[in-house]
Amino acid sequence: MADIDVSVSSNKSSYDFGERIELEIKVANLTSQPLYLAEPTQGHVYVQLMSSTEIHGLVGVPPHPYNLYYYGFLMPDMPLLNPNSSELLRKTIGMPILEPFINPDDQYDFRQLDVSGSVVIQIVVGYLKGFPIFTSAHPWGEFLTAQELSDPSTVTVTVAPPGP
């Protein structure tokens, strides 16, 4: 049986090109034990564009550094989700999506990824069954080992194409 149930919705069904997509993510603890949500401190949804009409998002700690130097680790907020209770998380996905990459000059850079039409957004939430206690000099790896992921939940919205 799953430990948490996740459902995602949007208060709008259609968005203009470049408009932030607003999401409401309901997370329910289905267990009799407290759980900790691995909610990023900055409130981000880490996104991966699967195609121009499919976005995968993670509310949790990604398996790779994101806007941090290679060995950096920023402890996420760890809100407690009490047994048999739920929490509503309000998140946005900034549009257009910017994908980090290494440019020809070996510098970090970003490129704009256009998303339009009927867009499926799939959200996964990270959580822990206990508050993490780090015992090594590699907290990122320890955190990722302890983090569990919910089953995905999806919502479909319409995003207008770029203007003329």
| pLDDT average, residue stretch 99-126 | 88
Query: What's the rounded Cα separation, in Å, for the pair 162 and 97?
Result: 13
Residue 28 has pLDDT above 70, yes or no: yes
> Tens digit of pLDDT for each residue in 59-91?
887 776 554 444 566 677 888 999 999 999 999
Distances (CA, A) of 86 to 29, 78, 82: 6, 15, 8
Q: Which domains does the chain have, with CATH numbers?
A: 4-159 (2.60.40)
| pLDDT average, residue stretch 104-133 | 90
Helix (H) / strand (E) element for 143: namely: helix 139-146
Query: What's the rounded Cα separation, in Å, for the pair 56 and 58?
Result: 7
Helix (H) / strand (E) element for 140: namely: helix 139-146
Tokens of 90: 């309000």
In sequence order, what are the residues at sequence separation of 6 or more whose Cβ sits closer than 8 angstroms to the Cβ of residue 127? 3, 4, 27, 35, 36, 37, 38, 60, 81, 147, 148, 149, 150
